Structure 1
Amino acid sequence: MTHRHPIPLPAIVRPDHRGRTHPDPRADPPTQAFDPANARTVRIPVVVPDTVRIATVHNGGRIAAAEGSGPPGPDTGLHDGLALSVSSLIGSAAGFISWLIAARIMPTADVGNAQLVVSAFMLVGGVSQLNLGVGLMRWVPNAGQGTSRLVRRSLLLMMPLSGAIGLVYALITPRLAAIAAGPDGPFALGLLVFGLACTGWVVFIVHDFLLVALGKPWWTAWRNGLFAVVRLGLLLALGGVLTLGEFGVVLSWVAPIVVWIALGTVVIGVLSRRATARATTDRTPCRADIIGFLAPTAVSQAAISLLYNQIPVLVNVRFGPEVGIVFFIAWQAVMVIDLAAVYFMDSMSVSVGREPHRINELAAAARRRLMIIFLPALALGAALARPLLMIFGAEYAAAENVLRLLLLGLAFRLVVAHELGVRQAIGWGIGFARLQLTSSVLVLLVAIVVPVTGGGVSALMPVAIGYVAAQVISAAAVLLFPARRRADLEVRSP
């Protein structure tokens, strides 16, 4: 397995299991980017019923005044958001089914080797996106005559970047190229296949955002649904019937990705040219605005990609494919809950946008609801750890205690998820990125420095304990320095 947000400064986004990030389509770009060298005044969009007001925020986060900017345009956010959500659900379901099938028809080592390649190219694609997917959703609808140019330049930036990072990554981790090359395939072929996977995946991600931006949101659900069907069919044919093992799994991903981006690029090109031809003005954002939006949000997106994908890659490389795939299954179960908790906190942005003077009260209420909903779910998951993992097989069920420890760590991670929601709600984009990056780096350090001792799944216990420790440290830091204390928001009627 492997991708919104009303009022962050800049907008805060998160990838789902496939590396894609979901913005709130109703979000407006900030009218003035944060300048660390002259941190005197920042203007952020505050969403309230039936209007959009621009709040002037001075040092310390105090809202001094708000000025009306007129009513918003037609709200297409419901259809856009629903289409992206359906698309994400399709991808999640397909990911779960594909790994379940692989676990049932292949040896554990083969599944582990395939997982290493898939997690790696998803990591590279997620990082290389630079959050341009969300940026294009914000800029393309109003780009006018610059639509085609904006789309073309964005793709020409991401594709070579992801390919280059992928090649370097494969050279540092030669197993990636060896697996991608297939049985007795040359190393150069493996580099080519892995590079294509990285380049293709970043385009595959961004095409969904472009379809929404170009007015075809439900095409995302259809393309992802068809992609899932084809990929699962190829997995059964290549991995089961032809018994290609790990190479069959890799091909079941890479082949449809290449075909889909080729066809999708033609479709996107036609749609963007039509939008360009209809327009009478060119309203593409300037370079400074683009960099001002992408810089902090790309950091937060990269941090989440590292957390979701780099951790299982490190475990796989250090502990071996048999142990790595068992950890991967447990890790994905935890990350699904993590992502749900983060999404749960998104609603706080809307509440604070309507009543910013109630930030402390709203934050406390959100924390209470978050704990009431998710702590029992974590306890239930811990109780059912063994039967849940038995779905994949007895080898995976051996990691029941590892899963329980990861769920315990996630209980402390809820404190971090709550703080991320608060920082997003008050528009503290840099603070959001810093917290997300710090918490991800702590877990990365655990995966890097924990010694490889013993054999089998028991070797994963120190990793799980380290994850718990990292979350305890992050939660303690958050409780000592909460964002709402720093913000100290005071609102006066406009």
Structure 2
Amino acid sequence: MSGVGIPARDRRLVLDAYALTASSVGNALTGLLCYVLSARLYSRDVVGQAAGLTAGLVLISAIASLDLHTALQRFLPGAGRSGGRLMWGCYLTAAVASAVVAVPFVLLFGADLFGGRPVWGLAWYPASVAFWSVFALQDVVLLGLGAAVLVPVENLVFGLLRLALLVVFVGGGGFAVFASWLLPVVLLVAVVNVVIWRRVLPRFAAAAEPGPPGWDVGTVARFVGGSHIGNLVGVASANLLPLIVVARLGTEGNAVFYIAWMVPYSLRMVAFNFGSSLLVHGSVDPAQIPSLLRTALRRQATLLAPVVAVILLFARPLLLVFGPAYAQAADLLRLLTLSLLPIVVVSAYLPIARVTGRLFEAVAISIVCGVAELGVSWFGLTHGGLTGLGAGYLAADCVVALLVLPRLAAFLATPSRARHAAPSAAFAGLTGAAAGRGSSPRRRGRRRAEKGVRR
């Protein structure tokens, strides 16, 4: 690869990460507007029923998606002409698994969420979850195919359609509010996939380098088998922490915690988005991981450093906007904001571990981080209230980051070309053992083909 190609790949990583971050910001803003509009236009019973239906949909999808979004980030960029087959396989697997897992949810909550008619709920709710799972995978497909710029456009349209339908369906019940969420999903699944299959995928396949694909069904299955466990621990860590606060401090204490929690947790999406982009572009050319990593860390520092500084200096005035009672969580907000620094380290190393075949290591880091965050936060909460929780959360992330930092520093300290052999060798050896016969020879053949093209 020429010297001109390296900064071009770095620029694409940054642009893709910015596109994902813009999408996250747009989702947060339109979601907030939808919440405010729902509260103004509908009764609390209606809003509560719709919230239960949508929360169940998102939770079931997270459980049943099998972390296929990470598998697509890892394997789709190098899939070449077999990319369509990989996409269909992931779509179908996620949709079927989501529909199956939704069945016991409907039976369990039929009386509360489905008006006492679970059979009626079975007629449409599993299909709704299946559509949502495919909708969630579309963002990753666009990223993997080099069309991440469409992600914020897609999600902006989704948010605006939700807002419009909330107004149109005024006077309806909880199912009407839920329909304002679901109907845009169905429409965008159809429209976006037409664009993908007719425009984006053919262009991606035509530009693919010759050589066998870097995946097969067994390799992907083994990859998601471990990755899904780590993903579930991360989901549990994010969603159980507010419940722990409720159990200890009650709903009023949780309200104070939640405002301080959501601001830094939303900022974590910057690190997660750069990690996703690093996984995609590192999978295309592992030789450039050190260069990509340095670029990702520099850009994250540029984005996050001013925000962190503002929150540290003005945590109390910022919380006073929500009311005097919330200002007591100023120290909690500062501590949770500081946890962004170690999480950047962790989220930067996880994609590298996945690209270089250190799958067990990536899963172990995710599990240890999630369990430590919950455990140490609970200990801090019981001994020091909300400030103790924040200190425990920060301490847990710092310990994990210190364990990861030496491995990350090894990539930062080595030039891209000098590092080429190490990731390739590690990937061939570790994935050869994990994925079985056939995986390593295909990758060796692919590298030989790539070298021939570069010459």
TM-score normalised according to structure 1 size: 0.61
The corresponding residue for 2:349 is 423
1:87 aligns with 2:9: no
Moved beyond 6 Å, runs of 4+: 71-75, 275-282, 313-327, 344-352, 366-372, 445-451, 460-463
Structure 1 pair 319–194 and aligned structure 2 pair: CA distance change class (3 A) = farther
Contact map agreement 2:376 2:396 (CA 8 A) in 1: no
- Maintained 8 Å contact 2:49/2:113: no
Query: In 1, distance between residues paired with 2:305 and 2:203?
Result: 46
State whether residues 275 and 347 of structure 2, in contact with CA within 8 Å, keep that contact through their aligned partners in structure 1: yes
Question: Which string of whole-angstrom CA distances, capped at 9 and with x for unpartnered residues, describes residues 44-73 of structure 1?
Answer: xxx996567xxxxxxxxxxxxxxxxxx998
Higher helix share: 2
Residues 1:84 and 1:412: Cα distance change in structure 2 (over 3 Å): closer
Residue in structure 1 matched with residue 215 of structure 2 by the alignment: 285
- Structural mapping, 1:111-260, within 5 Å: 111-137=47-73, 139-140=75-76, 142-169=78-105, 174=109, 177-178=110-111, 180-181=113-114, 184=115, 186-190=117-121, 193-214=124-145, 216-238=147-169, 241-242=170-171, 244=173, 246-260=174-188
Q: 2:263 — aligned with what?
A: 333
- Give secondary structure in 1 for the equivalent of 2:215: coil
Written as runs of structure 1 = structure 2, the 5 A alignment for 1:363-382 is 373-382=307-316
Q: Is the 8 A contact 1:87 1:224 kept in 2?
A: yes
Name the counterpart of 2:431. none
Per-residue Cα deviation, 1:358-398 (whole angstroms, up to 9, x for no partner): 9xxx999x9999677515414524332131x36xxxxxx75
Q: Which moved more, 1:297-306 or 1:95-104?
A: 297-306
> Among residues 396, 403, 408, which one is paired with 1:482 in the alignment?
403
Q: Which has the higher strand share?
A: 1
Judging changes above 3 Å, is the alpha-carbon distance between structure 1 residues 368 and 151 closer, same or farther for their aligned structure 2 residues?
Answer: closer
Distance 1:446 1:167 in 2: 35
Q: Deviations over 1:113-163 (max 9, x none)?
A: 544443332233234333433433554455455333222211111111122
> Match of 1:230, as an amino acid?
L
For the residue of structure 2 that corresponds to 1:283, the secondary structure is: coil
Structure 1 pair 145–443 and aligned structure 2 pair: CA distance change class (3 A) = closer
Cα pair distance change 1:325/1:101, threshold 3 Å: farther
- Structure 2: distance between partners of 1:272 and 1:347: 18
RMSD between superposed Cα atoms in Å? 5.2
Structure 2: stretches of 5+ with no match in the other structure? 283-287, 419-455
Specify the SS of the correspondent of 1:146: helix
1:434 aligns with 2:371: no
User: In the aligned structure 2, how far is the partner of 1:243 from the partner of 1:127?
Assistant: 30
- Using structure 2 for the length normalisation, give the TM-score: 0.66
Give the residue type in structure 2 aligned to 1:91: N
Report the Cα distance in structure 1 between the residues aligned to 2:124 and 2:250, rounded to whole angstroms. 22
Question: Partners in 2 of 1:323 and 1:113 — Cα distance?
Answer: 24
Equivalenced residues, count: 401
Shift of 1:91: 1.9
Give the C-alpha shift of residue 344 in structure 1. 7.7
Quick one: distance in 1 between partners of 2:331 and 2:79?
A: 49
Question: Within 5 A, what are the aligned runs for 1:8-157?
Answer: 50=4, 77=13, 80-106=16-42, 111-137=47-73, 139-140=75-76, 142-157=78-93
CA 1:398–1:206: 2 relative to 1, 3 Å: same
Indicate the larger mover: 127-136 or 150-159.
127-136
- Equivalents in 2 of 1:284, 1:472: separation in Å? 38
Deviates more, 1:346-355 or 1:160-169: 346-355
Cα distance in structure 2, aligned partners of 1:329 and 1:491 = 41
Mapped pair 1:413 → 2:335 = no
- Kept after mapping to 1: 8 A contact 2:19/2:151: yes
* Structure 1 residue identity aligned to 2:87: V
Q: State the distance in 2 between where 1:319 and 1:192 align.
A: 40
1:208 and 1:220 in contact (8 A); partners too: yes
Give the conservation status (yes or no) of the 8 Å contact 1:131–1:294: yes
Residues 205-225 of structure 1 deviation map (CA, whole Å, 9 limit, x = unaligned) = 112232344565444343322
Deviation at 1:471, TM superposition (A): 0.7
Query: Alpha-carbon deviation of 1:203?
Result: 0.6
1:228 and 1:355 mapped to 2: Cα distance? Answer: 32
Q: Kindly tell me: are residues 218 and 411 of structure 1, through their superposed partners in 2, closer, same or farther at Cα, counting changes over 3 Å?
A: closer
- SS of residue matched to 1:482: helix
Change (3 A) 1:382 1:339: farther
Moved more, 290-299 or 95-104: 290-299
